Amino acid sequence: MKILVVDDTEAVLLLISRFIEALGHKVVQARDGKEALELWRQHQPDLVLMDMMMPVMSGPEAAVAIKAEAGESWVPIVFVTGVGEENRLADAIERGADDYISKPVNFRVLEAKLKAFHRTLELNRKVREQSARLASYYDAAEEEKRVVRHLMDQMVNAERLYDPLLDYWLSPAESLSGDLIAAARTPGQVLYVLLADGIGHGLTAALNVLPLTQPFYSMAEKGYSLSDILVEMNNKVRQVLPVGRFVATVLIAIDEVTGCIEVWNGGMPTVHMLDRAGKVVHQWKSSHLPLGIVPTQDMETTTSRFFYSAPGTVLACSDGLTEARAPDGEAFSEQRLLQLLLQHPEGDRLVALQAALNAHLNGSPHHDDISMVMMRFGERMREDLPPAALQTAETQATMALVGSGESMWHYSLTLGAEELRYINTVPFMMSFVNEIKALRQFQSEVFLILSELFVNALDHGLLNMDSRLKRGEQGMDRYLLERGSRLAALTQGHIGIDLNGLRINGRDVLRIRIKDSGPGFDWPRFNLPNDDPARMHGRGLMLVRSMCASIQFTGSGNEVIVHYLPGLTAG
């Protein structure tokens, strides 16, 4: 220890100093309180051994000053007192001194006291170190949380969650949520919603769900199917998370054009479909393992479809909601949730649910993250397809010049049977279309046109599918099943797609030509103007016709050319 010894009697000062030095300590000497204070500032000793009665500044005065300056760090001050100073001694101890030793000094006692102070100082130093370390852990943890929270906010961009058909609620158990809600529209305006729940809650859970956002947003925006996105998300989770970590996931797609709701539920509570009155009309129970458990090639990515005929709401939530426990341990439960939805009209449901949960928890916190989404559908049922594109004078003038326009760019792609089986052609081409400035704003229309024409060429041109299969309750499932097996067995044939950017009459025109190697169909009937819509080859082609300035089949009906004028139908 470094010890400051203070005494105005030279002999005493020398005696004590020598003794302390003999014990192996370092000594700093002062001859009055004022000097003691100055030397204390200069040397920062571990302990002060001080006479009480001194000239200039007394011991107790110096002690008060030293204690005040030392602040949080503990500097023991021991007074060396003569008889008759008891009153002042008591006073000094009350004002902060730590101990005293009587004059004449008993060196055996002094040695013992120094040892005791040494032990206490060591302990004190350890506690201070530990609390400093704790404080820095705490700061580091807070900083990490701040960074992750920022990351989450960026990746789970709340703006993207704004969709007129979507209500959502997310309430983390800690400052970070292990539940994730994401929503995106495909180029064809299908609403994709992701609800995911990572193991536990807080930082590690948040880290578990983050890898899902990137494949979800980027693939949804390119128009990939739910199955494709699931494969990619499972790959990501397997890549980045250790064994034993997984993410329960629900993916939902609502396609208002076809009236189809597609769901994949891996380890999440049942997804419910409610009618306008709040009655359950369909449900999707968890039928898959959560993401990250099995290798992607062993994963079942088949979604379950439901075709609706009346408007309603799809409801999905995490188990944090149904399992939220009241102080008496009772869970909120799915029954209570469904009961509530039945009792409240659509617009009031979220508020009513929050109020009911608050009442249930009765002031106690919930222990797991709570998340919930409600998606309305069928509000503007597509009974009628949009009218055929307005043939304005400008359109007619432009179309009359087709063939004489200037070709600005050309993109051509031909796929054989092998490639058609695994390349998701239209999303693949969309990443090119999105780069063309004249088309970027209209990508959802281009996507719809390309998808319809491509599906037509593949389904009817190469696979020889009969649209009549789609009829009836299970029709669509039957059709898709059959299509899947025919596609898997496809060994011959090809489809060629040409995109041509033309400039005609100062206007951008997109020319799309799709040709398949199939036998074709009876096209002259289709090309007749004002054909009876009921006899049309399919709703898909009607849709294309309504968006394009022209649609024309040639050859045996295995080649179709459309001209699309960006911005013509204006939404």
Partner 1 sequence: MTPTVQIEGDAGRVILSGQFDFSAHREFRQVCESLIANTEIKEVLVDFQNVNYLDSSALGMLLLLKEKIGAASKTMALVNCRDTVKQVLEIACFGKIFTIR
Rounded-to-integer distance, Cα 209 and Cα 567, Å:
39
Does 244 participate in binding partner 1 (rule CB under 8 A)? yes
Does 271 participate in binding partner 1 (rule CB under 8 A)? no
CB of 199 to partner 1, least distance (A): 5
Which of 25, 236, 238, 245 contacts partner 1 by CB under 8 A?
A: 245
Rounded-to-integer distance, Cα 346 and Cα 343, Å:
10
Inter-axis angle of helices 349-361 and 334-343, to 10 degrees? 140
Does 294 participate in binding partner 1 (rule CB under 8 A)? yes
Q: Which is nearer to partner 1, 244 or 472 (CB)?
A: 244
Q: Evaluate whether 95 touches 52 at the Cβ level (below 8 Å).
A: no
Which of 45, 172, 223, 266 contacts partner 1 by CB under 8 A?
A: 266
Which of 110, 237, 248, 317 contacts partner 1 by CB under 8 A?
A: 248
Which of 290, 312, 427, 540 contacts partner 1 by CB under 8 A?
A: 290
Q: Which of 466, 447, 433, 535 lies closest to 257 in space, CA to CA?
A: 447
Rounded-to-integer distance, Cα 408 and Cα 566, Å:
15
Give me the 472-511 binding string for partner 1, x by CB under 8 A, dash otherwise. Answer: ----------------------------------------
Does 289 participate in binding partner 1 (rule CB under 8 A)? yes
Q: 3-class SS at 552? A: strand
What does the block give as tokens for 206?
């948040």
Q: Which stretch binds partner 1 (CB under 8 A): 88-96, 210-218, 286-294, 455-463?
A: 286-294
Q: Which is nearer to partner 1, 206 or 429 (CB)?
A: 206
Q: Which is nearer to partner 1, 268 or 497 (CB)?
A: 268
CB of 327 to partner 1, least distance (A): 16
Does 179 participate in binding partner 1 (rule CB under 8 A)? no
H, E, C per residue of 403-431 = CCCEEEEEEEEEEEHHHHHHCCHHHHHHH
Which of 29, 124, 235, 286 contacts partner 1 by CB under 8 A?
A: 286
CB of 359 to partner 1, least distance (A): 23
Helix (H) or strand (E) holding 507: strand 507-516
Which of 33, 215, 269, 405 contacts partner 1 by CB under 8 A?
A: 269
Q: Which stretch binds partner 1 (CB under 8 A): 151-159, 287-295, 424-432, 433-441?
A: 287-295
Angle at 122 between CA 116 and CA 124, to 5 degrees: 100
The pair phi, psi for residue 169, each rounded to 5°, is: -150, 130
Rounded-to-integer distance, Cα 486 and Cα 93, Å:
96
Does 180 participate in binding partner 1 (rule CB under 8 A)? no
Question: Would strands 2-6 and 26-30 be described as parallel, antiparallel, or unpaired?
Answer: parallel
Q: How many CA atoms lie within 13 A of 529 on its CB side?
A: 2
Site for partner 1 in 142-161 (CB under 8 A): none
Q: Which is nearer to partner 1, 200 or 475 (CB)?
A: 200
Does 364 participate in binding partner 1 (rule CB under 8 A)? no
Rounded-to-integer distance, Cα 473 and Cα 290, Å:
30
Q: Which is nearer to partner 1, 360 or 515 (CB)?
A: 360
What does the block give as tokens for 221?
């925006």
Q: Which of 162, 155, 224, 196 lies closest to 316 in space, CA to CA?
A: 196
Rounded-to-integer distance, Cα 69 and Cα 73, Å:
9
Rounded-to-integer distance, Cα 187 and Cα 13, Å:
90
Q: Which is nearer to partner 1, 62 or 195 (CB)?
A: 195
Q: Evaluate whether 498 touches 414 at the Cβ level (below 8 Å).
A: no
Does 211 participate in binding partner 1 (rule CB under 8 A)? no
Does 288 participate in binding partner 1 (rule CB under 8 A)? yes
Which of 319, 445, 459, 559 contacts partner 1 by CB under 8 A?
A: 319
Q: 3-class SS at 325? A: strand
Q: Which is nearer to partner 1, 333 or 434 (CB)?
A: 333
Q: Which is nearer to partner 1, 269 or 378 (CB)?
A: 269
User: For the chain, first and last CA: distance in Å?
Assistant: 83
Which of 293, 449, 458, 568 contacts partner 1 by CB under 8 A?
A: 293
Rounded-to-integer distance, Cα 262 and Cα 324, Å:
28
Number of residues that bind partner 1 (CB under 8 A): 21
Q: Which is nearer to partner 1, 266 or 518 (CB)?
A: 266
Q: Which is nearer to partner 1, 292 or 378 (CB)?
A: 292
Cβ-based neighbour number of residue 523 at 10 Å? 18
Q: 3-class SS at 291? A: strand
Site for partner 1 in 189-208 (CB under 8 A): 197, 199-200
Q: Which is nearer to partner 1, 198 or 378 (CB)?
A: 198
Contact residues: partner 1, CB under 8 A = 197, 199-200, 243-246, 248, 266-269, 286-290, 293-294, 319, 368
